[in-house]
Chain A
Amino acid sequence: MNKKNKVKLQKSTYGFIAPAFILYSLFVIVPTISSVYYSFTSWDGISPVVRFIGLNNYKEILTSARFGNALKNTVILTIFISLLENAFALGLALLVDNVKIGKNFFRSAFYIPVLISGIVSGFIWKIMYNYNFGAINTILNDIGLGNLKQDWLGNNKLTLIMVGLVLVWKGAGYYMIIYLASLQSVSTDVIEASQIDGANAIQRFRRIIIPLISGAFTINFTLSLINGLKVFDQINVMTDGGPGFTTETLVYLLYKVGFNEGRQGFGTAVGMVLLFIIIILNSLQQKFLKSREVQL
């Protein structure tokens, strides 16, 4: 290809990129950059007057117990769902991969919760968890285990975990598909060779399958980490951040102070800190998981 054609190709390439680039810039990059500015203001989200207050919002973040509590909740929830979601998804993928009959049925059945919107799944589980009328406590009562009844969304020691379980239930099917695709790409030659060498099922899983699907681990852990950090729908519907501040995460704090309590400037500063945390954690995780990937 001569130089003239190369330049022509490059120009048309830019042309194809342009629509996505313009839209992405308009709706993601520009608001993100303008958020940096708003995070240094005390804007209430309504008033045309935007007052610059320097680093005050960030100083408040460092000293605020509410922010500390939201950060703690976010970390707990993210670790909980990242680990459980991946463990559960891998288990489901192995089940679907090895099942002889009804493979498609199981794959679809496990994937269905993914298709339900976050808001709807939140409502469904909120009703299930209801202390007085919910299915869980009713079943416990009916089978004579009434003493195990709990206020699942009202007990401050349980609520975050119960929200986490809903997220795992809803998200595992998605990660299962990625694990399944990865499992199905593992060459049967390698498996057969290991069988000939006398490796048992556990050895095969630990020494061959896990290293070969480590790319899927990287993707799934990255996605579940990011999803865990930005959980919103279920918390909004099921607990509204409560009881008290028990399930208030960083994203929920951002929403509450920014949109509900008229402190858009502070909310934006929380958003900036969250962005920074996501970038740092994601980079660390990528570095760690990539180093463990095996290329065939």
Chain B
Amino acid sequence: MKRKMLALVLTTTMIMTAFVGCGKKAETNNSKQVDTSVQDESAEAGKEETTDQVGEEKSIVTEPTTLTYVFADGDEGAKEAMNEIVNRFNNTYKDVTVKIMPGNGGAYSELLKTLDSVGEFPDVMEMRDTAAYIRAGKLEPLSSEITALFKTTTEFENAVYTAPLAGENTQGIIYNKAYFDENGFTEPTTYAEFIELCQKIKEKGDMSPLVVGGQDIWHMGFWFNKAYNDQVISQDPDFIANSYAGTKDFTDATVKATFEEMKEIMQYAQDGWTSTPDAQITTFLVNKMSAMMFSGTHMFSQIEAADREFEYGWFPVPSPDGKTRLVGGAGVGGLAISAEAAQDPNKKAAAEEFIKFFFQSENYKVYCEKLSAIPVTVEEPTIDVSDVFKEVIEATNTADDLCSMWNGQVGNKELPPDFRNFMYKTVIEVLQGQRDLDSACEELNKTWKTCMESFNPLDGTGIQ
């Protein structure tokens, strides 16, 4: 009898322990919020201090409401800016509290999927893989009041689901200005001049012409996207749509030319580029190990943080046909509201108010300055940015072509979910000589066909 009782007690205890984390969602959120890092505490503290002072703010909810909010916090600038804006919001609205959930640093897309699968999908979030979440019915369309705040937004089946945080991360060459001045190097105005410049630096031998963070395949995406725009999109802007339709494929001469352009450029990368992570490229630049890097404007703050005295310049890399093609404009990512949260009128009102608050000039300015982000709102904030950043903004205004990254398109140009990584890895294989160009193109074709079996926006496969 005693043994039976003991067994029963043990069984019950074990099962109770196993399920202790599976309470109601609200309870889970509350317990999570307690240990949600310093950010939340500071947000809360700030709120307590100032609620009385600003308690007169018009209430937008009928009862106290808490919103969970998650963003990609891998970048220090993003973390600082978001904390600042959330603090301001919490201080302004007495009945609404925005709680920041940790964003898991670099693996943000996976975090979103995990939160979704464990039933902790945030109320407001920085959205990635937007199309997949929209198709899954996880996002709420934004009101016209919000979409009117932006110069451009991306529509998805006649609705807008994301408030773009910034213009797409415009990439260009960031270079060591002092080194250029010392050696009489000037910013190239044509592609041929760019290659000539790389060759001169290589021959000089004191540093590598380019630093490339090839271990992070998304970094390779910067260069790939440039070469792809130069060679493929310049000839056929609908290449992906045509590939879905079967009228084009990856053995196309323009795809091969993309690989050739990559090969030409990558011969100027530093030794060990395939094992260099993106996080290390700033070190190469500021320590005079490399003269140039090709990356987005988010690197400006990282360079300044690494060496305040470092003098850098920026120029776009022209295409071989003489045109300037840049990544820019509003992309498909941005702030979004969860469809589940929107079912609660208070949460919906609070979430919409938070987004509107975020993009008010005085708040949005914080985000743009910290991340060197290009503003996308109609009412542009006056941002205190460097001359180099102003140069980037100017270049996006005068570029011959401005579009999202090849993997950030929607509609008939949307890539199958697994194709981007396959392409980048295949590029690395070709650059390392593991695979010849023809077999790489054949392999891309095979993979494309397989991908199309589970995703094809033309016939709706994988969408309905």
Contacts and interface: CB of A to CB of B under 8 A. Distances in A.
The answer on A and B forming one complex is yes
A42 B129 CA distance: 17
B116 A242 contact: no
- Tell me what chain B mostly uses at the interface: helix, strand, loop, or mixed: helix
Contact of A22 (B14, B113, B116): B14
Contacts of A53: 454
Contact of B417 (A56, A64, A129, A263): A263
Given A26-B18, A44-B132, A156 B417 contact: no
A42 to B, nearest CB: 5
Contacts of B138: 46
Nearest to A60: B450
A66 B451 CA distance: 13
Count class of interface residues, chain A: 35 or more
B54 to A, nearest CB: 39
Nearest to B137: A48
B390 interface: no
A12 B110 contact: no
Contact of B447 (A66, A155, A239, A244): A66
A236 B426 CA distance: 18
A261 B418 contact: yes
Interface of A is mostly: loop
A91 interface: no
Nearest to A263: B418
Nearest to A244: B429
B11 A15 contact: yes
B461 to A, nearest CB: 9
Contacts, number: 143
Interface residues of B, number: 57
Interface string A120-132: 0000000001111
A235 to B, nearest CB: 13
A211 interface: no
B272 A154 contact: yes
Interface in B137-189: 137-138
A56 B138 CA distance: 28
B15 interface: yes
B450 A64 contact: yes
A111 to B, nearest CB: 30
A56 B452 CA distance: 13
Interface stretch (A182-190, A193-201, A213-221, A252-260): A252-260
B116 A46 contact: yes
Interface in B425-464: 425-426, 428-429, 432, 434-435, 443, 446-447, 450, 453-454, 462, 464
A12 B4 contact: yes
Interface in A39-64: 42, 44-49, 53, 56, 60, 64
B96 to A, nearest CB: 28
B214 A154 contact: yes
A5 to B, nearest CB: 12
Interface in A1-56: 8, 11-12, 14-16, 18-20, 22-23, 26, 42, 44-49, 53, 56
Contacts of B58: none
A16 B7 contact: yes
B425 A245 contact: yes
Closest 7 interchain pairs by CB?
A15-B7, A131-B272, A261-B418, A154-B275, A154-B274, A262-B417, A19-B14
Interface of B: 3-4, 6-8, 10-11, 13-15, 18, 109-110, 113, 116-117, 129, 132-133, 135-138, 214-217, 270-276, 280, 283-284, 289, 417-418, 421-422, 425-426, 428-429, 432, 434-435, 443, 446-447, 450, 453-454, 462, 464
Given A15-B6, A44-B462, A154-B274, 8 more contacts: A12-B4, A45-B117, A46-B116, A46-B138, A49-B464, A131-B271, A154-B272, A262-B132
